[in-house]
Chain A
Amino acid sequence: MSTTQTSVAVGAEVEPDYLACSKGWKSWLFTLDHKRIGVMYLIAISASFFLGGLFALGIRLELFHPGEDFVDADGYNQLFTLHGAVMVFLFIIPGIPAALGNFVLPLMLGAKDVAFPRMNLASFWLWMFGAVFFVAVLASGGLDTGWTFYTPYSVEAQTAVIAAATGAFILGFSSIFTGINFIVTIHKMRPVGMTWFRMPLFLWGMYATAIIQVLATPVLGITLLLLVFERLTGAGIFDPNNGGDPILYQHFFWFYSHPAVYIMILPAMAIVSELVSVFSRKPIFGYKMIAYSSVAIALLGFLVWGHHMFTSGESKVAAAIFSALTFSVSIPSAIKVFNWLATMYKGSISLATPMLYALAFIFLFLIGGLTGLFLGTLSTDVHLHDTYFVVAHFHYVMVGGTLFAFLGGLHYWWPKMFGRMYSEKGAAISCLVAFAGFNIAFFPMFPLGAKGMPRRYWYYLEQDFISYHQLATVGTVLLGFGLLGIVIVLLRSLKSGEKAPANPWGGATMEWDAASPPIHHNFHHTPPVHDPYRFDDLRRDPATGNYSRTDAAEPVSSH
C-alpha cells in the first residue's frame, strides 16, 4: 500500500491534474472525462438552483402581505410553476447523481471513467438542450400549469406548455443516460476484490437511483408526449371535452413522479451514510440493511403513486392499497436513521462541516419523513391534501433532505474536486444560518396547512394566516443568506484556500487514494481494494493533514 501512495505522490508532480491537463472551452465542452462532466453539471445545476431560488423568493415576498404587492395572480401562478419546474427538472433530479455522482462514482471504483464516457457527455448536452427549452418557456409567455401539468388545465392553458413538456421530455433522456451509465459501470467495472457487499454505500444508493431513472423516466416521457399530442390534435386522451380522462393523466404522471422523489432522496441518504461513517470513524452499522433498504425503497417507490390521488375520487380499495404500501416505504427509511445513529455510538465524532450537514439532514429528514405519516394516513390526508402541510412536508424532504445532503457531499468532496480546503468556520456558520432559515421558513407551514390554507394561493384570508406567511418569508430570506454564504466560502477557497491533501477527512473509500484534484486518468495504478468502512488503520499526519494507511493495513482478499 505504501508503495502505491508514494507513486501517486511522485506521479502528481510530473502529471498535471484533470483541471490543468488541457485548456480552452472545447477541452471542457467536448471532454469525455467524468470529472469535468461532473464539474460542468455542478455549475449548470447551481445556476438552475439560483434561478429557481429567485422564483421562490418572488413567491415568498408576494405572500408577505395578503393582496397584490408586486405580481398579479397570473404572475404568481407563473412564479410557483417555474419555481417547481426548474427546481425539480433542472436541479434536484440531476443534482446529486449527475454532479457529485459523475465525479465520485468512477473514483470510488478505482476506475478511469464511467463505462460509456460518450454517453455521459451526451447526457450533459441533452441537459443543456432541455434547459434551452425552459429558457424558451421563460421568453415566450411562461408557464402557469404547476410543475405537475395536470389535465385538463394544461390542455387549455394559454402558456408555453408544449415547450416546457418538450424540455422535461429531453431532460428525462439526460437522466436515463446517466442511469444506464451508472448501472453498467457498477456491474462491470468494480475492481477485483470489490464484491457487491464491499461496495461503498454511496454506490448502492447510486445503483438504486439508476434503476428508478431507467425504469420510471420513460413513463414521464410518454405521458408528456401524450399531453403535447392532446394539445396539438385534441385526440381525447386526457380532455373530457373529447371523451378523455383527466385522472388518467394523474396516474401516468405520478407513476414517474413518485419514484422521482426517490431519485431525489436515495442519493441523499447514500451521501449521509458515507458522511456519518467517516466523521464518526466507525464502520457503518448494519451495512447490509442499509444496502437492502435502498433497493427496497427503490422498488416499493414504484407502487405508491396513488397516494397523490386520495381525494381524486379514487376507489376505496385502491386508496387502501396505496395507503398500506406507502406506510411500507416508511420502514426502510426509519431503519436507515437508526443505523446512522448506531454508527455514531462510541465513535470519534468530528463536527467538520460535512458532518454538520449530515446531522442537519437527519434532523430535517426526520421531520419530513414523520410528517409523511400524516399524509399516508387516509382520513387525515383528506384534510391535509393540497394544503401548506403538504408543501412543508415535501420541502422538508427535498430541501431539508436532498439539498442539505447535496451540500454535505459538496463540502465533503470539494477538496477532492478542486484541491483546495475551504474556511471551516465560514462553512459551518453558513450551514447553521441556512438550517435556521430553512426551519423558520417551512415549519410554520405545517400548522398553516392544518388550519386549512390551500397551496398555490396568491391571495389568502388575512386574519387567519398572515403571521405564518410573514414568518415563512423571513425564514426564506435567512435561508438565502445562508446559501449565499456557502457560495462565497467555496468560491474563496478556489482563490485562497489551503492546498488539500489527498485524504483530508480520513475516508477509506477509493476516491481518497487519488490525488486532490485527481489526474486526468484518476490513478496511475488501480489501488488495492480495502474495506470501505475500516478506519482503524488510517493515521493522520499532523504536518500535511493527510490521512494515510499504516503499513499494517491489509487490502481485502480478492475472492
Chain B
Amino acid sequence: MMLTLAQAGEGTFWFPAQAAEDAAKVDDLFYFVLYVSVFFFLLIMTILSIFVIRYRRRDDSAPQKSPSHNTVLEIVWSVIPTALVVYMFYAGFTEYLSKRQPPAETYEIGVTAQKWSWNFTYPNGHVTDVLHVPVDENVSVLMTSEDVIHSFFVPAFREKMDVVPGRYTKAWFKPTMVGEFDLFCAEYCGTSHSEMITKVVVHPQDGPDSFEEWLREDSDFLSKLSPVDAGKKVYQMRGCAQCHSTDGTSGNGPTFKGVWGTERRMADGSAVTFDENYVRESILQPKAKVLVGYEPVMPTFQGRIKDDEITALIAFLKSLQ
C-alpha cells in the first residue's frame, strides 16, 4: 500500500529531481544567473592572469603610463552589470509572485510544526506525520507552529516557507512526479532540528495507490485496527516517536518501555503513578508534571488530538512492558 520508493527522480550536479510545476522555472533562472556569473568570473580571472603575467615587475623602473580613469569604460562596466541584475530581479520577482499567490482552487492541508515533528491535517480531520498529496493537483499548506519558528522545506518542490508561532503562513505547490521526497525543517529549532525530517508522498491520480484511496483507508484506522495497533499508529503519526522511545533509550523525553504503572518522580519532587490519567494530562498539559531530569519542552496537544486517539495510545503504552 505505502509507496516504498526511495527519493524519486534523478538529480543533477546542482539540484534534486524537479517534482513540482515551478521547479523547472526556478532551476532555469538559477542556471541563467550561474552562466552570467561563470562568464564574468572567467572573464575577470583571465584578464587578471594576463595582467599578472604580462606586467610582472622586472625591474624597479616606473611602469608605463596609462589613464587613471576612462569615462566610457566606466559607464560600460556599470551599465552592463546593471542591465543584467535588473533582469535577474525582474525574473525572480515575477516567478516569486506566482509562487506566493495560490490559485483559486487548491486542496488545503493544515500543517502544525512542533519540536521536533510535523503534523499534517487533511480536510476530513485525519492527521499524519508524513505529508501525503495527490499528483498534478494544486495543493496549499496552511502552517503554524506550536513553539518556536520552523521552516517547511521540500527541495524537490523548490519550496520553502517559515512556520511561525502565533500566525499562519501559506505555501502552495503542484506536484508533478509520483514518489517520495524529503521534507526538512530549515529553520534552526533546537536539539533535534536536524532530525525534524519527514517525507512527502506524492500519490498517483488513479488506482489502488491513489491519494483518495489512501486517505479513505488511513483515516479509518481507529475502527479497523486493534486498540494497540491503532495506538502505535497514533504514536507514530503524532510525532511522539521523535522524543519518546519504545526500546528503553532516553531521548529528549523519557522512554515508554516498561514504565506503565510505575511510580515516577517529578521535577518538583512529588511522585506520580504512570497511569491513564497521568498520560492524558501529560498530552493535554505537558508542563503540569515534568519527570525529573527532563526539560519542559513538550508542546500541548490540547484541541489537536481526539479522545479516541488518546484511548488507543494508552492501550499501546500499556502493551510496552
Contacts and interface: CB of A to CB of B under 8 A. Distances in A.
Q: Do A and B bind each other?
A: yes
Interface of A: 73-74, 77, 144, 146, 150, 152-153, 156-158, 240-241, 245-247, 280-289, 310-313, 316, 319-320, 323-324, 327, 330-331, 334-335, 337-338, 341-342, 344-351, 359, 362-363, 366-367, 370-371, 373-374, 376-383, 385-387, 447, 450-452, 454-461, 464, 535-536, 539-540
29 contacts: A73-B191, A73-B192, A73-B195, A77-B191, A240-B164, A241-B166, A281-B63, A285-B69, A286-B74, A312-B162, A313-B161, A316-B96, A323-B89, A323-B92, A341-B48, A344-B48, A345-B66, A348-B55, A348-B60, A348-B62, A374-B30, A374-B34, A379-B93, A379-B95, A379-B96, A382-B158, A386-B187, A451-B14, A461-B197
A152 B66 contact: no
B216 interface: no
Contacts of A152: 147-149, 165
A379 B99 contact: yes
B45 interface: yes
B235 interface: no
A150 B149 contact: yes
Interface of B: 7, 11, 13-16, 22, 25-26, 29-30, 33-34, 36-37, 40-41, 44-45, 47-48, 51-52, 55-58, 60-70, 73-74, 77-78, 81-82, 85-86, 88-89, 91-93, 95-97, 99-101, 147-149, 151, 153, 155-156, 158-162, 164-167, 169, 182, 184-195, 197, 295
A346 B65 CA distance: 7
B81 A383 contact: no
Contact of B63 (A346, A376, A380): A346
A120 to B, nearest CB: 35
A382 B96 contact: yes
A378 B92 contact: yes
Given A153-B189, A313-B162, A380-B30, A347 B45 contact: no
Nearest to A460: B194
Contacts of B66: 282, 345-346
Nearest to A326: B89
A281 B63 CA distance: 7
Contacts of A319: 93, 96, 100
A451 B16 contact: yes
Contacts of A386: 151, 153, 160, 186-187
Contacts of A387: 186
Contacts of B190: 77, 144, 153, 157
A378 B184 contact: no
B195 A459 contact: yes
Contact of B165 (A246, A327, A363, A370): A246
Most chain B CB inside 10 Å of its own CB: which residue of A284, A380, A455? A380
Given A341-B48, A383-B26, A367 B41 contact: yes
B60 A540 contact: yes
A230 B179 CA distance: 45
Nearest to B165: A240
A350 B189 CA distance: 50
A150 B188 contact: yes
B89 A282 contact: no
Given A313-B167, A383-B160, A337 B193 contact: no
B278 to A, nearest CB: 24
- State the majority secondary structure of interface residues on B: mixed
Contacts, number: 262
Contacts of B30: 374, 380, 383, 450
Contacts of B92: 323, 376-381
Most chain B CB inside 10 Å of its own CB: which residue of A282, A377, A539? A377
A373 B87 CA distance: 11
A400 to B, nearest CB: 13
Contacts of A457: 193-194
Contacts of B67: 285
Most chain B CB inside 10 Å of its own CB: which residue of A287, A312, A363? A312
Contacts of B100: 316, 319
Contact of B33 (A150, A374, A455): A374
A376 B151 contact: no
Contact of B151 (A144, A311, A370): A311
A382 B68 contact: no
Contact of B194 (A73, A150, A313, A316): A73
A74 B48 contact: no
A348 B160 contact: no
A283 B88 contact: no
A45 B85 CA distance: 37
B191 A313 contact: no
Contacts of B149: 150, 152-153, 246
A418 B215 CA distance: 75
A359 B193 contact: no
Contacts of B189: 153
Contacts of B16: 451-452
Given A152-B149, A156-B148, A349-B52, A456 B194 contact: yes
A310 B160 CA distance: 10
Nearest to B86: A327
